[in-house]
Chain A
């Protein structure tokens, strides 16, 4: 069965960096586009970034452009999110998400990132 397991969340000071990982299993990872979606505490869903199946195409929300970088390693079945210059409003649960040509059919359980001094 499809599994997406995020890791790397934690508490970080404003201005610092943090890297998230998502280990994928149960499907052919290299065939599918992937996304990061976040949810601030008590708030709605915010799409963050996407990457194509081969990693050649990436897109970002305006709110994170230039600070967050999505990448993948198809040999390791792993998706990444490198987060730099973190701000308080980056505090959220970050979900790793698989798409199947558009809609998102599988979500991880999420990892919480808290940006606080």
Chain B
């Protein structure tokens, strides 16, 4: 099974500053036939189900602010929030859907410094 490892486990960033969350997979998520990375990012706020932010490693979902961006390929991926807003406080998860047995990272808790 594919293991997803996020870093750091928690992160405190000042308002307006950049936040960076990393995600590493135990095997490549790049499917050679279509050159797509099977990696998504989700945001979960307290008491709510997760919300899809980014799919295919870098495709921002409709309605997601453009301060959120995803990058990376193969086994190493990054979620970047370019200018942290108060409403971005949440837990962020990466997820692979390359394998039929999907899996999530352990989550990164993002707080305001």
* Chain A residues in the interface with B (C-beta under 8 A): 35, 37, 44-47, 50, 57, 59-62, 95, 99, 102-105, 107-110
Report yes or no: A103 in contact with B55, Cβ–Cβ below 8 A.
yes
Report yes or no: A107 in contact with B97, Cβ–Cβ below 8 A.
no
Write out the residue numbers on chain B whose beta carbons fall within 8 Å of the beta carbon of A60. Answer: 101
| Chain A interface, >50% SS class | strand
Cβ proximity bits B51-81 to A, threshold 8 Å, 1 near / 0 not: 1100110000100000000000000000000
Report yes or no: B55 in contact with A107, Cβ–Cβ below 8 A.
no
Write out the residue numbers on chain B whose beta carbons fall within 8 Å of the beta carbon of A59. Answer: 100-101
> Chain B, interface size: which category?
20 to 34
Report yes or no: A102 in contact with B40, Cβ–Cβ below 8 A.
yes
From known contacts A59-B100, A110-B49, infer whether A45 and B40 are also in contact, taking CB-CB under 8 Å: no
Cβ-based interface call for B1 (8 A): yes
Q: List the 4 closest A-B pairs by CB distance, nearest first.
A: A107-B49, A103-B55, A103-B40, A102-B97
Within 8 A of A (CB), among B1-41: 1, 38, 40
Report yes or no: A44 in contact with B104, Cβ–Cβ below 8 A.
yes
Cβ-based interface call for B83 (8 A): no
Report yes or no: B97 in contact with A103, Cβ–Cβ below 8 A.
yes
Closest to B104 in A: A45
From known contacts A44-B106, A47-B102, A62-B1, infer whether A107 and B50 are also in contact, taking CB-CB under 8 Å: yes
Within 8 A of A (CB), among B71-99: 91, 93, 95, 97
A35 to B50, CA, bound (A): 14
Report yes or no: A46 in contact with B104, Cβ–Cβ below 8 A.
yes
Write out the residue numbers on chain B whose beta carbons fall within 8 Å of the beta carbon of A61. Answer: 101
From known contacts A102-B38, A102-B40, A102-B55, infer whether A47 and B49 are also in contact, taking CB-CB under 8 Å: no
- Shortest CB-to-CB span from B66 to chain A, Å, is 19
Write out the residue numbers on chain B whose beta carbons fall within 8 Å of the beta carbon of A99. Answer: 97
A109 to B44, CA, bound (A): 12
Which listed residue (B50, B52, B97) contacts A45, Cβ 8 A? B50
A44 to B91, CA, bound (A): 9
Write out the residue numbers on chain B whose beta carbons fall within 8 Å of the beta carbon of A102. Answer: 38, 40, 55-56, 97
